[in-house]
């Protein structure tokens, strides 16, 4: 079965079909943006019979690939007429030629600086016929009034505001190319059928006008039997505008064909997410992906219930399945997924992840929302919530959601739900999770998911600020301007020669208020802790208890013993990670530069060899 056809079609025929509404644009095509110089350039290319590239059109009539359509910019309203073909590639070229040649209206375009201007396009007939002048130099544009002036508007250089002026100055209006016989009659009448001017016209018609009217354009026509995925992929690969369209934009156009406004819906969802700081960076693609994941999972469950266990459909959130998401499934599952994201944000806040910038992997919210949508009220069971968070932390500290996540998403919703609801096997994400103790030495910024994970674990239930003794929770996190700060300060490190790889990693950092950090200043712990204790107005035991809530041994801080502190705190953090992921961490394991876990003993032996 043929999926495309390649042929040559008259440019005028294509432009006429655009005018009649037979050729339109899918609504996901962005606006027309070509500037004045590019329009003049393409007009010159056609005038010289130079190739301007092929255009790609899509045959309509496939009910599974229905897009909302719109006329080419400048084309008349076709009163809802169904197009026969849609432009996939070539929008800018065809729109430029259509507006300049067919509309008989001034063209809205841009100048070199990007400012909007309005231009009429002309061909200087004398220059066009001068064998010593490039035809491209003969094509020019003029302002809306068709008058060129100089000396701040005092002197008129060229006035083409009347047809007679066009005849007089031998300036041919490009928008009359398709009606050249009308202009020719007026031209000959104006010059009283002067034989010299008539011969001049005939030569111009032969060289220029016929080049336009006889121009053949290569056309690749995709047949209607193509899949939506193929159409969308082809569009993105050949789109000369170079602007990649998202799945959301493509679905917006598809749903619009069924009179559903996906953009308005997304704005409502964003407003619903506003109170939840964790969700401030959740995207429309995240929502579509979670709904697709959930809908394919539901389809598999439903078929399994009625005994259709052979060739069950795959649970998936890949691009192909997102593009094939039906409006019916979107409407059916949208609210569940939105509530799933909100529930996920609340659970993360309970686990000391308070804002979107503290979420280790925003991508992990996609399967988490889908899982929570399926679990419903079952997640309110403390044991079930503990299992969910164990899966979450394994994803974080196993650093498993950095790329190519779609396959893992599909496993997550099937395996995590079965594990929680039916006490099934542990999910693959838990099995795959592995954390090397040496990884703590490389966690220095929020660019790392594991860094954010440790930060959250350090703000456990009893963690208190060193100065205010305020428990760090959702309220104090914002009111006290809590952030992560160095325990042994940078200034102290500079005086004592501690390697940056040690002092600047997560082991030497802890959550503190901005006010506390200012008091810490650049002094050694033994010095600044006395200041803090004095200002806090607490006993030694009370202050030590506050310090211990930050997973430190106060004795090493008072002694300013960086390396005893460092070794001790590293072990304490590893123990917290072990509790979070529910599995032991091999202390003899190190991580190579490539991120591959290797046995330390073997590593040392290889070096000695």
Closest CA to 414 of 286, 580, 291, 300: 300
User: How many Å separate Cα 465 from the centre of its chain?
Assistant: 38
Distance between CA atoms of residues 87 and 55, nearest Å: 8
- Residue 602's pLDDT is 33
Residues 429 and 443 in one domain: no
Cβ neighbors of 268 (< 8 A, separation 6 or more) are none
For the packed helices 327-350 and 247-256, what is the interaxial angle rounded to 10 degrees? 140
Two tokens, residue 91: 């929008």
Residue 13: Cβ-neighbour burial (10 angstroms; 0-12, 13-18, 19+): middle
Q: Is residue 156 a part of any domain in this protein?
A: yes
The β-bridge relationship of strands 55-59 and 4-10 is unpaired
Q: Is residue 605 a part of any domain in this protein?
A: no
Residues 150 and 214 in one domain: yes
**Torsion angle of the four alpha carbons 523, 527, 533, 535, in this order, in degrees rounded to the nearest 10:** -60
DSSP string, 335-396: HHHHHHHHHHHHHHHHTT--SGGG-S-GGGHHHHHHHHHHHGGGGGSHHHHHHHHHHHHHHH
List beta partners, residue 123.
139, 172
Residues 164 and 131 in one domain: yes
pLDDT (average), residues 406-413? 94
List beta partners, residue 87.
57
Looking at 408, 433, 458, which one is the last position of a domain?
A: 433
Looking up tokens 């939506």, which residue turns up? 228
Percent composition of the chain: helix, strand, coil (DSSP 3-state, to 5): 55, 10, 35
- Residue 1's pLDDT is 56
DSSP string, 7-63: EEEEHHHHHHHHHHTSEEEETTSPPP---HHHHHHHHHHHHTT-----EEEEE---G
403 or 181, which is more confident: 181
Distance between CA atoms of residues 489 and 543, nearest Å: 20
pLDDT (average), residues 327-333? 96
Distance between CA atoms of residues 128 and 560, nearest Å: 86
Residues 272 and 180 in one domain: no
- Give the torsion sign (CA, 200, 206, 211, 213): positive
How many separate domains does the chain show? 3
Q: Is residue 291 a part of any domain in this protein?
A: yes
Instruction: Please give the mean pLDDT across all residues of the chain.
Output: 88
- Whether the model clears a pTM of 0.75, i.e. scores above it, the answer is no
For the packed helices 91-101 and 11-20, what is the interaxial angle rounded to 10 degrees? 80
- Residue 50's pLDDT is 92
Which stretch, 229-233, 252-256, 376-380, has highest mean pLDDT?
376-380
Tell me: pLDDT of 599 over 60. Answer: no
Residues 214 and 347 in one domain: no
- pLDDT interval class at 216 (50, 70, 90): very high
Distance between CA atoms of residues 354 and 345, nearest Å: 8
What letter does residue 461 receive in the DSSP assignment?
T
Residues 175 and 296 in one domain: no
pLDDT (average), residues 481-500? 89
- Residue 339's pLDDT is 98
Q: Is residue 122 a part of any domain in this protein?
A: yes
Looking at 204, 220, 244, which one is the last position of a domain?
A: 244
Instruction: Tell me the percentage of the chain whose pLDDT exceeds 90.
Output: 64
Distance between CA atoms of residues 585 and 437, nearest Å: 7
- pLDDT interval class at 240 (50, 70, 90): very low
The alpha-helical segments, DSSP class H, found in 480-523 are 490-496, 500-503, 514-520
Tell me: pLDDT of 361 over 80. Answer: yes
- pLDDT interval class at 233 (50, 70, 90): low
Tell me: pLDDT of 3 over 60. Answer: yes
User: How many Å separate Cα 264 from the centre of its chain?
Assistant: 18
Distance between CA atoms of residues 278 and 353, nearest Å: 8
Closest CA to 221 of 16, 385, 378, 8: 8
Cβ neighbors of 264 (< 8 A, separation 6 or more) are none
Q: Is residue 15 a part of any domain in this protein?
A: yes
User: How many Å separate Cα 542 from the centre of its chain?
Assistant: 50
The β-bridge relationship of strands 85-89 and 23-26 is parallel
Q: Is residue 609 a part of any domain in this protein?
A: no
Two tokens, residue 268: 């409502």
Tell me: pLDDT of 172 over 90. Answer: yes
Looking at 433, 457, 488, which one is the last position of a domain?
A: 433
Helix or strand (DSSP H, E) at 456:
helix 449-458
HSE, CB side, 13 Å, CA atoms: give it for residue 385: 13
- pLDDT interval class at 237 (50, 70, 90): low
Tell me: pLDDT of 597 over 60. Answer: no
- Residue 309's pLDDT is 60
Residues 102 and 130 in one domain: yes
Return the number of other C-beta atoms located less than 10 Å from residue 241's C-beta. 13
Distance between CA atoms of residues 371 and 379, nearest Å: 10
Two tokens, residue 166: 């066009």
Residues 5 and 78 in one domain: yes
Tell me: pLDDT of 598 over 60. Answer: no
List beta partners, residue 107.
119
Residue pair 55/89 in contact (Cβ under 8 Å)? The answer is: yes
Q: Is residue 516 a part of any domain in this protein?
A: yes
Residues 219 and 258 in one domain: no
- Give the torsion sign (CA, 131, 132, 133, 134): positive
- Residue 375's pLDDT is 96
Tell me: pLDDT of 565 over 80. Answer: yes
Residues 445 and 593 in one domain: yes
- Residue 594's pLDDT is 38
Residues 231 and 304 in one domain: no
Q: Is residue 99 a part of any domain in this protein?
A: yes
> Beta strands of 452-605 (E only): which ranges?
483-486, 509-512, 589-591, 597-599
Residues 425 and 454 in one domain: no
- pLDDT interval class at 474 (50, 70, 90): confident
Which domain covers residue 292, as residue numbers? 247-433
Distance between CA atoms of residues 319 and 232, nearest Å: 10
> Beta strands of 192-272 (E only): which ranges?
216-222
CA distances from residue 203 to 130, 166, 189, 196, 212 in whole angstroms, order as listed: 11, 18, 18, 11, 14
């Amino acid at each position: 079965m043929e999926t495309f056809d390649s042929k040559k079609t008259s440019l005028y025929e294509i432009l006429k079909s655009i005018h009649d509404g037979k050729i339109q644009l899918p609504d996901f095509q962005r606006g027309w943006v070509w500037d004045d110089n590019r329009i003049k350039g393409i007009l010159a290319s056609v005038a010289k019979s130079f190739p301007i590239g092929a255009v790609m059109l899509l045959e309509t009539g496939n009910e599974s690939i229905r897009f909302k359509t719109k006329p080419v910019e400048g084309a008349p309203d076709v009163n809802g007429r169904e197009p026969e073909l849609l432009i996939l590639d070539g929008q800018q070229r065809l729109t430029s030629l259509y507006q300049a040649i067919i509309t008989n209206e001034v063209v809205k375009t841009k100048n070199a600086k990007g400012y909007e201007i309005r231009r009429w396009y002309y061909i200087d007939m004398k220059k066009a016929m001068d064998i010593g002048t490039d035809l491209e130099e003969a094509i020019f544009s003029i302002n809306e009034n068709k008058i060129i002036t100089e000396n701040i508007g005092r002197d008129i250089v060229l006035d083409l505001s009347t047809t007679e002026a066009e005849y007089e100055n031998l300036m041919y209006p490009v928008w009359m190319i398709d009606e050249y016989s009308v202009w020719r009659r007026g031209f000959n009448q104006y010059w009283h059928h002067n034989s010299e001017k008539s011969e001049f016209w005939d030569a111009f018609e032969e060289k220029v006008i016929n080049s336009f009217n006889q121009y053949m354009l290569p056309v690749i026509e995709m047949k209607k039997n193509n899949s939506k995925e193929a159409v969308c992929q082809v569009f993105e690969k050949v789109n000369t505008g170079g602007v990649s369209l998202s799945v959301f934009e493509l679905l917006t156009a598809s749903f619009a064909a069924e009179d559903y406004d996906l953009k308005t819906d997304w704005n409502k969802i964003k407003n619903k997410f506003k109170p939840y700081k964790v969700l401030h960076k959740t995207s429309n693609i995240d929502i579509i992906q979670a709904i697709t994941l959930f809908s394919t999972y539901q389809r598999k469950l439903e078929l399994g219930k009625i005994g259709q266990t052979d060739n069950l459909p795959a649970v998936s959130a890949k691009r192909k399945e997102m593009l094939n998401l039906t409006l019916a499934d979107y409407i059916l599952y949208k609210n569940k997924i939105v509530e799933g994201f909100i529930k996920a944000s609340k659970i993360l806040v309970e686990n000391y992840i308070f804002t979107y910038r503290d979420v280790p992997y925003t991508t992990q919210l996609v399967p988490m929302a889908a899982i929570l949508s399926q679990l419903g009220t079952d997640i309110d069971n403390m044991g079930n919530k503990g299992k969910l968070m164990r899966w979450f932390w394994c994803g974080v500290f196993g650093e498993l959601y950095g790329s190519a996540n779609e396959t893992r998403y599909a496993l997550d919703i099937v395996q995590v739900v079965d594990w929680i609801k039916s006490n099934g096997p542990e999910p693959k994400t838990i099995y795959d999770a592995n954390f090397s103790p040496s990884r703590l030495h490389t966690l220095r910024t929020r660019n790392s998911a594991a860094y954010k994970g440790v930060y959250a674990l350090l703000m456990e239930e009893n963690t208190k600020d060193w100065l205010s003794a305020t428990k760090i929770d959702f309220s104090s996190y914002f009111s006290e301007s809590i952030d992560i700060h160095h325990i042994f300060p940078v200034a102290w490190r500079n005086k004592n020669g501690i390697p940056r790889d040690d002092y600047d990693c997560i082991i030497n950092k802890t959550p503190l208020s901005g006010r506390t950090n200012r008091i810490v200043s650049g002094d050694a712990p033994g010095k600044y802790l006395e200041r803090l204790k004095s200002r806090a107005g607490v006993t030694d035991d009370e202050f030590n208890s506050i310090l211990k809530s930050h997973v430190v041994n106060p004795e090493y801080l008072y002694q300013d013993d960086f390396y005893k502190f460092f070794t001790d705190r590293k072990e304490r953090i590893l123990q917290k990670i072990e509790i979070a992921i529910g599995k032991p961490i091999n202390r003899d394991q190190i991580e190579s530069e490539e991120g591959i876990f290797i046995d330390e003993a073997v590593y040392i032996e290889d070096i000695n060899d």
